[in-house]
Structures are given as structure tokens and as C-alpha cells.
Amino acid sequence: MNNLFNRLSILILALTATLTLSAAITFTLQPPRGAIEGRKFQFQFVLTSDGDQLSSAPNITPSKPQIQGCEFYSNGMSTSIESGYSSSAGSYMRNSIIYTYTYIARHAGKTTIPSVSVTVGGRTYKTKAQTIEVVKDNAPQASGWGGAQGQVNPNQGGRGQSSGSISVGKVQPSDLMVNISFSRQRLYEQEPVIATIKLYVKYDKDFTIDGSSFKVNKLPVFDGFLSEELPVKQGGTIENYKGQVYYTFEIKRVLLYPQKGGDLRVHSGEYEITVIEYEWVTYGWARTRREVPRHMNTSTNTATIHIDPLPEPRPANFSGAVGKFSADATLAPELLRTNEAATYTLTIKGSGNIKFLTAPKIQFPSTFDTYTSKTDIQADFNGSTHSGTYTIEYPIVPQEVGKFTIEPYEFVYFNPATKAYETITTKGFPANVVRGSGSSGDGAQKTVDATMRDIRHIHLLSANPATLSAPIVSTWWYKLVYFLAIAALLASVIAYRRYIKAAADVTGRRLARANRLATKRLKAAAKLMRQHQADQFHNELASALRGYIGDKLSMAPSQLISDVIADKLTAYGAAPQDVQAVIDVLNDCEMARFTPTAGDDSAMHDIYNRAAAAIKAIEDVKSK
């Protein structure tokens, strides 16, 4: 028995050691950021392990990959050792062997670095194949090592660092530009498009871009769009743009949903960039390079995209969904009981503007009590749009016994692929309601249809008839009650007419609640400011100011853009300095995400006070 136990223990330890070995070793490809036709480029295979498991690996060299359109130039190998201490693993040591390969790109176009394998300790490790793009070089060939000037190391300086050893000219303002581009140039309203803002730097320069001092002077403007930030690619890539070779760095990627048709213009914004140039300095016989930082500003670039409006006429029950969807409905439990809760669930799946759908109104039988619906959105970005599930749960409580029907729901959406509105009809449910355990046992008066609201049940009296023999109409208190009832009726009629008149005055009601809602949201922003939640504070402050102006000037949400707000406030009679104060607060709230000092208490107090002062100034204006 002990022998068996010992053998099992040894087997388990051996398996554990094998699994640990396989998990501790990795073999990866670090591809180049790009390549230029006729020039050299490098990439690396990195073999890494914990401990000393690579003691035999220096004798291993990966096979030379065959890359179509490229010529092998040279290869080399280096090693590195990293040691340290972590609270979870204690002391550790990590060994790495770096295999560097240099090739010459002979033809422009896309090519693939194939998978390469090595064998360590009897196990084989493979890299993943990687596609790279070789851009055409229409610029003059630079002097220096292989003409590969300005190759960028994206891990240095926040944005990239030159590895060229010979300067081929200082960076000029004309060598920097910011460009905005769209993944598509024409699409329908509510259809997604990706806007990418890139920094372009001339390739044949000896420079470093200091990402730590990269500042935004003017924010990008996405008027007419709903926007959502996307992650940007780290490091630089090589790109041939209009016959010139540039290093490009993604500054911003945004997923946009246009809210109106027509030609919409988007500004890329203005940025200040610190470019670190290098100049040679001679000290006697020694010669070295020193850094020379320069602050340079980029100009605003504007791009136009055409948005086709959705076809007219739109169906009466159009949900606002644009994309490709499916819909289904369920009822749980299927057997309904009076005074017991049930749930009707509508599930919409697909891709498109699913994150911006609104819960539809479902018509339930009049004998069902309905409560506030609950929505749940599970949507992820799939590379070009959002796809996922939009679920709406409707709590219902039947109040009457009988047979009822929950009618099918028609979900109407616009499909850009077919350029037509499409309808999905969910199934209806025959609802047989039985008496629940909490219902009253006396069902004699339940036969009156609940839709006949003008019929009331007879109230049975158990009073002695002798007490009703004397006429009460002759008493003084009956007459007083009579006249009081008439007076109450007249007062109710007058109050009701005033209520109807006030309810019809939508503009008046919005004006009346504008300042109240703004004050409420300013309090919420102040609470976030005290909690030092800078991002949420600036979002809440901008929402409070836009909401106030929208209610005050009867503006739709899609109109709440800077130019339209300025025009409306001017037409309303606001002073130019008050209009500018509103626009400055909105711009500062948007810029706060790019400004590190925006989270300071003094900065948040300042912008909060300016927002409150701007609202008060507009509130004091007497409309023209």
C-alpha cells in the first residue's frame, strides 16, 4: 500500500514539473512596425523562461524564415537576465534569448512572417505568423546605415525614438501633420463608422517624440455624432502617404454613430508635440550626440463624410434600430395566477446601434398591472460596430381570472445591407389566468369587465332601516355639505382647466423646470468634485449645462453642439461674454480628459463656479 502511495506521489510530482516547465517557457515574435521598399528592417524572436531552463537553449537557433518579397541580410543572438521579487511569487529570475533577423524589403505590398519553431527540453514551441506591410518609397534615399534612418522604437520616449546614427535634417513644422480619416466615406444615419486621428512625422529625420509632453490645444469636434472612445495602437508604424514615407502614431480612435443626414465635417484638433532632435557635439577627440528639445504645433485637419438619411416614409412603429437584428419574446411562468408576478421578456440580438436602442412599449391586457421595465445591454465592439444582446424585462401582475392574449410585438429596424426596413414579429401568448392563493374567495362581483370603468358594484348595507326613516335633506348640515360640494366642484373645474392649459404649454413647462434640474445636476457634480472623481465630475457638469440650455431654449439633444448653442443664446438675447462663457465651460469639460491638471481641486472649483455663473447669467436674461 505504501509502495503504491509513493509511486503515485512521484507520478504527480513529475506531471506537475512537466506542466510547470511547459507553462514557464514562451516563444514569441516581435514584428517590425513596418518596412520600406528597398530598405532594411528587423524583427525578433524572443525565447523566455523562468529560472535556468534555457541553459541548453543558446545552442538552439530558429530556422531562417522565408519571407516572400524580402531578402535575408543577417541574423544575431543576444541574452538577457531579469531578476526581482514579487509578493505573490517571492524571488524570481527570468532568462530571455533574443534572435534578431534583418531582411531587405524588395517589393511593396503585404507579406507574412511565417511561424517558426524551436525545441527546448523535448517540447516544441511555435510563434504565430504575422502579416506586415511593405510601403513604397517615393522619397529620395537617405544616407547612413542601409538608408534606414529614423527607425522608431515605440518603447522609448512614450512615442518612439530614432535609431539612425546620422542626422539627415532637422524636423520642420511641415514635417509634422495630424490627419483624420474614416473607415468609410458614405453610410446611413445611425450606421457606425470609425474615425482615426494620426500624427504623421517624416521618416528621414533623426528624432524622438516625447509622449510625456504631448498636449491637446484644441479638442477634436464630433458635432452630429454619438461617439465612443476606442483603444489606440501603441507605438508607431510606417506608412506611405501621398508619395512620402512617414512614421504614424495613433492619437485617437472613435466609434461614431451619425445622428443626422448630409455632409458632416469633423475637425481633428490641434496638438503641441515635443520633438527631441539630435546634434553632434565634439569635445576634443570625442564626438557625441546631445538632445535638443523643440515644441511644435500641428494644424487642424478637417475631413468630410457623407451621411445618407434613412428612407422616408419611416414605418410608424420604427424602433430606431439600424443594423442586422433578431428578436424573440418569452413569458414566465406560462401559467398565470391573479396577484402573482410574471415576467414578459423581449430579447433583441444583432449588430448595429444596439447600445442606443430604447425599450419599446408593449400592450398588455387592461386587467394586467404593469411596472417599470428593466433593461440589460451586453454589447461588445467587434472591429467595426457593436454586437450583442439587448434584453428588456416587463414585470406584470394579472388581476382578473379569465382568458387573455398578449399580442405579438413587431420589431422594425433598418437594414443597410438591403437598404430597406425589415420587420420581425415575435410570438403572442394566450394567457389563461387562474385564481392565485392571495386572491379573495368572494368572486360574485368579479364578472364585471374591468374595461367598464363607469360601472361600480353595489355596496351592501347592513344598517337598520329604522334609522333611515327621517329625511336628511331637511337638516342644516346636509344643506351646508351640498353647497360645499358645489363650491368644491367649481374649484376643481377651474383648477383642471388651468392644469390642461399648463400641460399644453410644453415650452413653459421646460422653462419652469430648466433651472431646477440644472441646480439638481450641479449638486451632483459638486458631490463628484468632493469625491475627487474628475472624469465623472466634468461629464456631469457638461451634461448639466447642456440640459439647462436644451430646456431653456427648447433644443433637441442633437442640436446641443457648440455652434448651434452660440447662435441660439445670441438670438435669445444673451450677452456675447455670457455666450462665450458657456462655450468655454463646455470646451474645458471636453478637454479635461487630455489635461492632467484638470483633476486638481482648484481647477475643478474654478470650472464649477464658471458653470454656475454661466447658468445664472442666462437665467437673468429677458428673452427677446
HEC readout, 212-247:
EEEEEEECCECCCEEEEEECCCCCEEEEEECCEEEE
How far is it, in rounded angstroms, from Cα 67 to Cα 41? 12
pLDDT at site 161: 34
From 31-40, 141-150, 522-531, the region with the lowest mean pLDDT: 141-150
Q: Is 191 exposed, middle or buried (0-12, 13-18, 19+ CB in 10 A)?
A: buried
pLDDT at site 281: 81
How far is it, in rounded angstroms, from Cα 149 to Cα 207? 10
From 157-166, 310-319, 516-525, the region with the lowest mean pLDDT: 157-166
Residue range(s) of every CATH 2.60.40 domain in the chain: 23-135, 318-434
From 43-57, 352-366, 489-503, the region with the lowest mean pLDDT: 43-57
Which residue has better confidence, 372 or 458?
A: 372
Handedness of CA 308, 313, 315, 319 (dihedral sign): positive
Q: How far is CA 410 from CA 25, 401, 445, in A?
A: 56, 27, 36
Q: Give the HSE-up count for residue 147: Cα atoms under 13 Å, Cβ half-sphere.
A: 14
- Parallel, antiparallel or unpaired: strands 35-36 and 130-135: parallel
Q: How far is CA 375 from CA 359, 365, 389, 392, in A?
A: 7, 22, 10, 4
Q: pLDDT by residue (tens digit) across 278-298?
A: 778 887 787 887 888 888 888
pLDDT (average), residues 460-475: 59
pLDDT (average), residues 196-209: 78
- Chain centroid offset of residue 553 CA: 29
Kindly report the pTM of this predicted structure: 0.54
Most confident of 99-108, 156-165, 322-331: 322-331
To the question of domain 318-434 being in CATH 2.60.40, the answer is: yes
| Structure confidence at residue 615 as a pLDDT band (50, 70, 90) | confident
Q: Report residue 134 as a C-alpha cell.
A: 511593405
Question: CB atoms < 10 A from the CB of 542, how many?
Answer: 21
Read off the DSSP letter of residue 165. Answer: S
Handedness of CA 283, 285, 286, 288 (dihedral sign): positive
Which residue has better confidence, 6 or 351?
A: 351
φ, ψ at 516 (rounded to 5°): -65, -45
Name the amino acid, one letter, at 26. Answer: T
Q: With contact defined as beta carbons under 8 Å apart, do 222 and 195 qualify?
A: yes
Q: Is 500 exposed, middle or buried (0-12, 13-18, 19+ CB in 10 A)?
A: exposed
| Structure confidence at residue 575 as a pLDDT band (50, 70, 90) | confident
- CATH code linked to domain 506-619: 1.20.120
Most confident of 179-183, 298-302, 513-517: 179-183
| Structure confidence at residue 611 as a pLDDT band (50, 70, 90) | confident
| Structure confidence at residue 191 as a pLDDT band (50, 70, 90) | very high
How far is it, in rounded angstroms, from Cα 429 to Cα 140? 74
Q: What is the DSSP string of 142-163?
A: PPSGGG-TT-B-TTSTEEEEB-
Task: Name the class of domain 23-135.
Answer: mainly beta
Name the amino acid, one letter, at 579. Answer: V
pLDDT at site 597: 64
Q: Report residue 309 as a C-alpha cell.
A: 438619411
Nearest to 92 by CA among 48, 59, 123, 155: 48
pLDDT at site 378: 93
Residue listed under C-alpha cell 495613433: 250
Q: State yes or no: pLDDT of 624 exceeds 50.
A: no
φ, ψ at 262 (rounded to 5°): 110, -175
Query: Which residues, in sequence order, are CB contacts of 448 under 8 Å at separation 6+?
Result: 455, 457
Q: Report residue 534 as a C-alpha cell.
A: 474628475
From 16-30, 303-317, 356-370, the region with the lowest mean pLDDT: 16-30
Q: State yes or no: pLDDT of 197 exceeds 80.
A: yes
Residue listed under C-alpha cell 433651472: 515
Q: What is the DSSP string of 325-390?
A: EEEEEEEESSSEETT--EEEEEEEEEEESGGG--PPPP---TTEEE---EEEEEEEE-SSSEEEEE
Read off the DSSP letter of residue 558. Answer: G
pLDDT at site 232: 84
How far is it, in rounded angstroms, from Cα 438 to Cα 337? 9
pLDDT (average), residues 319-338: 92
Q: With contact defined as beta carbons under 8 Å apart, do 345 and 332 qualify?
A: yes
| Structure confidence at residue 238 as a pLDDT band (50, 70, 90) | confident
How far is it, in rounded angstroms, from Cα 373 to Cα 345? 9
pLDDT at site 564: 82
Residue range(s) of every CATH 1.20.120 domain in the chain: 506-619
Percent of residues, the chain, with pLDDT higher than 90: 22
Q: pLDDT by residue (tens digit) across 82-135?
A: 655 555 555 666 778 888 888 988 888 888 899 988 888 778 888 888 888 888
Which residue has better confidence, 352 or 534?
A: 352
Q: Report residue 1 as a C-alpha cell.
A: 500500500
Alpha helix stretches (DSSP H) within 505-624: 506-530, 534-553, 562-572, 576-591, 601-619
Q: Quick one: which H or E segment has residue 39?
A: none
Which residue has better confidence, 275 or 179?
A: 179
pLDDT (average), residues 508-535: 75
pLDDT (average), residues 343-358: 93
pLDDT (average), residues 454-475: 58
Which residue has better confidence, 603 or 448?
A: 603
Most confident of 34-38, 253-257, 566-570: 253-257
Q: pLDDT by residue (tens digit) across 535-562?
A: 888 888 888 888 888 887 777 777 778 7
